[in-house]
Structure 1
Amino acid sequence: MNPDRDGLTYAVATLLAVTAVVDALAAAAAWSVRGLFLGPLADHPDPAGFGDLDLAAAGALQCLLMPVTAVFLVVLLRRRRAGAGWWAGLGVVALVTAGGTWAYVSADTVAGLVTGSGLLAAADLLNALVAVLASVLVLRPTSMQGPKTTGMIPAAQ
Structure 2
Amino acid sequence: MLVLRNPNGLSYAVMVLLAGNIVFDVLLGAIELRFLLTDVTTDYFDPAVFGALDLNVAYSMAYTLFVATGIVFIVWFHRLRKNAEVWAGDLQSRKPGWAIGGWFIPIGNLWIPRGIAADIWRASRWQPYAADGTRELTLLNGWWTVWVASVIGDRIASQLYKRAETLEAYVTASYWSLGGYALDIVAAVLAVLFVRRLTSMQHAKATGMIPAAQ
- Offset, 1:151: 2.6
- 2: distance between equivalents of 1:10 and 1:143? 11
Q: Does 1:33 align with 2:35?
A: yes
Listed as ranges, the matches of 1:61-72 within 5 Å are 61-72=61-72
Aligned residue identity for 2:78: R
- Offset, 1:100: 0.8
Q: TM-score under structure 2 normalisation?
A: 0.59
- Greater shift in the superposed pair: 91-100 or 143-152: 143-152
Structure 2: gaps (5+ residues):
82-116, 120-140, 210-214
Alignment: residue pair count: 147
- 2: distance between equivalents of 1:41 and 1:20? 26
1:71-94 CA distance string (max 9 Å, x none)? 111121232242384556433322
- Offset, 1:22: 0.8
Aligned to 2:79: 79
1:106-157 CA distance string (max 9 Å, x none)? 21111011111111111112112211111111112378535531236xxxxx
Instruction: Indicate conservation of the 8 Å contact 2:7/2:76, yes or no.
Output: no
Structure of greater relative contact order (alpha carbons < 8 Å, 6+ residues apart): 1
Q: 1:138 aligns with which of 185, 189, 195?
A: 195
Instruction: Indicate conservation of the 8 Å contact 1:42/1:110, yes or no.
Output: yes
- 2: distance between equivalents of 1:78 and 1:88? 21
Aligned to 1:53: 53
- Greater shift in the superposed pair: 47-56 or 81-90: 81-90
Q: Does 1:109 align with 2:166?
A: yes
Structure 1: gaps (5+ residues):
153-157
Aligned residue identity for 1:65: L
- 1: distance between equivalents of 2:162 and 2:52? 10
Identity of aligned residues (%): 33
- 2: distance between equivalents of 1:56 and 1:149? 45
- 2: distance between equivalents of 1:32 and 1:57? 17
Instruction: Indicate conservation of the 8 Å contact 2:7/2:79, yes or no.
Output: no
Instruction: Indicate conservation of the 8 Å contact 2:19/2:188, yes or no.
Output: yes
Shift in alpha-carbon separation, 1:55–1:102, aligned structure 2, 3 A? farther
Aligned residue identity for 1:47: D
Shift in alpha-carbon separation, 1:88–1:76, aligned structure 2, 3 A? farther
Aligned to 2:11: 9
Aligned residue identity for 2:150: V
Q: TM-score under structure 1 normalisation?
A: 0.78
- Offset, 1:69: 0.2
Aligned residue identity for 1:123: G
